[in-house]
Amino acid sequence: MFERFTSWMAERQLTMSMISDADLRVFLSERENGSRRINSDIAHRYVRLIERCYDHVKWPTNPARALLLDAAHGAISLGSDDRMTVLDASQAERFMAALPRVDEGWKRHRDRVMQLVMLRSGLKVAEAIGLMISEIGEQRELDGALSLRLTPVGKQPTSYPHTTRLDAEAARELLAWLAVRQVLPIPGKLVFPANFRGVPLNKSTVYRQVKASFLRAGLTPSRQGGRTLRNTFAVQELDCVTIAELTEHLGLALSRSTRHYAAARQRVKPRV
């Protein structure tokens, strides 16, 4: 995806330091070598990717963010995440019932709890892969929940430090897994290591395991990866938290980024 943008800049002898939000609008609207213009359904993803690139290099101005703010205020249209994939309550129950079993070996036990944590606390795949034992709250809250205090260390560079909560049922499973993990001969501090060497899991491995759970559940959403689990958590959270609180739980930079979750909530909320 980013290759198309760099090729476009090279053809016009532009660099990222020279790009403005107006240039980005031109990029999104132009055809490339006779091909179709960028589909509006993925334009928002393009701009988000470019925004993260500017953040990664810590550039003082971020034209992609300016474009996203214009879109948030309705000044322009980029397409949107309004059609994000979200599980309703019954589908989420079916997914959990189809998770790998604890008695299938330590790796399947790991996969079970990791997917449960993503679904019930909104972690990104990169955050789940890089989750450290030290980031798990030492004591459970009065309702049995656990705090997860996420840091960018060992995850993706664009992660933000933030705190989310894991409900009591999922917290019990996580603590049971940690007890098993403690007696395994695995070095390091990763909660969900890939093997006995303690190296991190690969994102593609996580995707395959999540997809396998969807298949066992008989669910065929348009997207069958960790993003759907995170979206589902976010939409369910809006029943009991404010937009500002959800922004914190998800580790988002702006509360405006949660607007699509509110729209998705209307789609999956049962009608009375």
- Give the pLDDT score at 168: 97
If asked whether residues 185 and 250 sit together in one domain, one would say: yes
Query: Facing residues of 165 across strands?
Result: 147
- Give the pLDDT score at 255: 60
Query: What residue has token string 């989310």?
Result: 164
Residue 82 forms part of a structural domain: no
If asked whether residues 25 and 97 sit together in one domain, one would say: no
- Give the pLDDT score at 120: 97
Task: Please give the tally of structural domains in the chain.
Answer: 2
Predicted structure pTM score: 0.70
Residue 41 forms part of a structural domain: yes
- Give the pLDDT score at 243: 81
> For each successive 10 residues of the chain (272 residues), what is the average pLDDT?
82 86 78 52 79 88 80 54 77 98 97 98 94 95 95 73 94 97 96 97 94 96 90 91 86 67 72 41
- Give the pLDDT score at 170: 97
- Give the pLDDT score at 199: 96
Q: Which helix (DSSP H) or strand (DSSP E) does residue 74 occupy?
A: none
Residue 80 forms part of a structural domain: no
- Give the pLDDT score at 39: 59
User: What does the angle CA 214 – CA 215 – CA 220 come to, to the nearest 5 degrees?
Assistant: 70
DSSP state of 144: S
Rounded CA separation 195/112 (Å)? 15
Domain ranges, residue 197: 89-268
- Give the pLDDT score at 78: 61
If asked whether residues 43 and 96 sit together in one domain, one would say: no
CATH code of the domain containing 190? 1.10.443.10
